[in-house]
Amino acid sequence: MSSGNPGDKPIDRVGVAVLGCGVVGSQVVRLLHEQASDLAARVGAPLELKGVAVRRLDAPRDVDVPTDLLTTDAMGLVARDDVDLVIEVIGGIEPARPLILAALENGASVVTANKALLAEDGPTLYEAAEKAGRDLYFEAAVAGAIPILRPLRESLSGDRVTRVMGIVNGTTNYILDKMDTYGSGFEEALAEAQELGYAEADPTADVEGFDAAAKAAILASLAFHTRVTASDVHREGITEVTAGDVASATEMGSVVKLLAIAELNEASSGESAVSARVHPAMIPRSHPLASVREAYNAVFVESEAAGQLMFYGPGAGGSPTASAVLGDVVTAARHRLQGTTGAGESSYADRAVLPMGETLTRYHVAIDVDDRAGVLAAVATAFAEHDVSIQTVRQEGRGEDAQLVVVSHEATDAQLSATVEHLRTMEIVRDVTSVMRVEGTE
Ligand X SMILES: N[C@@H](CCO)C(=O)O
Q: Which of 292, 281, 279 is nearest to 246 (CA)?
A: 281
Minimum distance, C-beta of residue 228 to ligand NAD, in the bound complex (Å):
18
Q: Contact residues for ligand NAD (CB under 6 A)?
A: 19-25, 53-55, 74, 89-91, 95, 113-115, 140, 144, 316-317, 321
* Cis ω before 95 (30° cut-off from 0): yes
Between residue 145 and residue 164, which ones bind Na ion under the rule CB under 5 A?
A: 146, 148
Q: Based on the number of CB atoms within 10 Å of its own CB, is 15 exposed (0-12), middle (13-18) or buried (19 or more)? A: buried
* DSSP letters for 181-235: HH---HHHHHHHHHHTTSS-SS-HHHHTSHHHHHHHHHHHHHHHTS---GGGSEE
Q: Which is nearer to Na ion, 223 or 324 (CB)?
A: 324
139 binds Na ion (CB under 5 A): yes
Q: Does 170 bind ligand X (CB under 6 A)?
A: yes
CA distances, 159 to each of 84, 136, 155, 301, 357 (Å): 33, 23, 9, 11, 29
Closest CA to 256 of 364, 149, 162, 115: 364
- Least separation in angstroms between residue 418's CB and ligand NAD is 38
- Helix or strand holding residue 437 (H, E): strand 429-438
Given ligand X, ligand NAD, Na ion, none, residue 55, with its beta carbon under 5 to 8 Å by kind, binds: ligand NAD
Q: What are phi and psi of 273, to 5 degrees?
A: -135, 160
We find the least distance from the C-beta atom of residue 424 to ligand X, in angstroms, to be 33
**Smaller CB separation from ligand NAD, 41 or 59:** 59
- Quote the crossing angle between the two packed helices 115-132 and 96-105, to the nearest 10°: 20
Question: Which residues contact residue 143 at a Cβ distance below 8 angstroms, ignoring those fewer than 6 apart?
Answer: 166, 168, 215, 297, 298, 299, 311, 313, 315
CB of 297 to Na ion, least distance (A): 8
Pick 321 or 412: Cβ nearer ligand X = 321
How many chain residues are in contact with ligand X, going by CB under 6 A?
Answer: 7
Q: Length of the chain in residues, anyone?
A: 442
211 binds, among Na ion, ligand X, ligand NAD, none (CB under 5 to 8 A by kind): ligand X
Identity of the residue, 47 or 316, whose beta carbon is nearer to ligand X in the bound complex: 316
Query: Residue 21's binding partner, choosing from ligand X, Na ion, ligand NAD, none, with beta-carbon cut-off 5 to 8 A by kind?
Result: ligand NAD
Give 148 or 416: the residue with its C-beta nearer to ligand X.
148
Residue 326 as a binder of Na ion (CB under 5 A): the answer is no
Q: Which does 171 bind (CB under 5 to 8 A by kind): Na ion, ligand NAD, ligand X, none?
A: ligand X
Q: Choose from ligand X, Na ion, ligand NAD, none: what does 23 bind? Cβ within 5-8 Å by kind.
A: ligand NAD
| 362 HSE (CA, 13 A, CB side) | 17
Check residue 331 for interaction with ligand X (CB under 6 A).
no
From candidates 51, 122, 315, 318, binder to ligand X by CB under 6 A? 315
- The CB-of-207 to ligand X minimum distance in angstroms stands at 10
- Residue from the set 206, 328, 345, 439 that interacts with ligand X by CB under 6 A: 206
212 binds, among ligand NAD, ligand X, Na ion, none (CB under 5 to 8 A by kind): none
| Residue 291: partners with Cβ closer than 8 Å, 6 or more residues away | none
The least CB distance from residue 58 to ligand X, in Å, is 27
Active site residues: 215
CB of 254 to ligand NAD, least distance (A): 29
- CB nearer to ligand NAD: give 169 or 434: 169
- Full 3-state SS string of 258-325: EEEEEEEEECCCCCEEEEEEEEEEEEECCCHHHHCCCCEEEEEEEECCCEEEEEEEECCCHHHHHHHH
If the CB atoms of residues 55 and 160 are measured against ligand NAD, the closer one turns out to be 55
Give whichever of 4 and 91 is closer to ligand NAD, judged by the CB atom. 91
Minimum distance, C-beta of residue 66 to Na ion, in the bound complex (Å): 30
Indicate the burial class of 428 (C-beta count within 10 angstroms; 0-12, 13-18, 19 or more): middle
CA gap 165, 176 in Å, rounded: 17
Shortest Cβ contact with ligand NAD: which residue? 22
Mutual angle of helices 115-132 and 210-224, in 10-degree steps: 30
SS3 163: strand
Q: Judged by CB under 5 A, which of 16, 83, 136, 143 binds Na ion?
A: 143
Q: How far apart are CA 131 and CA 85, in angstroms?
A: 16
φ, ψ of residue 100 to 5 degrees: the values are -65, -45
Q: 146 contacts which partner out of Na ion, ligand X, ligand NAD, none, CB within 5 to 8 A by kind?
A: Na ion
Q: Does 218 bind Na ion (CB under 5 A)?
A: no
Binding site for Na ion (CB under 5 A): 139, 143, 146, 148, 324
* Residues of the shown chain interacting with ligand X in the complex, contacts defined by CB under 6 A: 169-171, 206, 211, 315-316
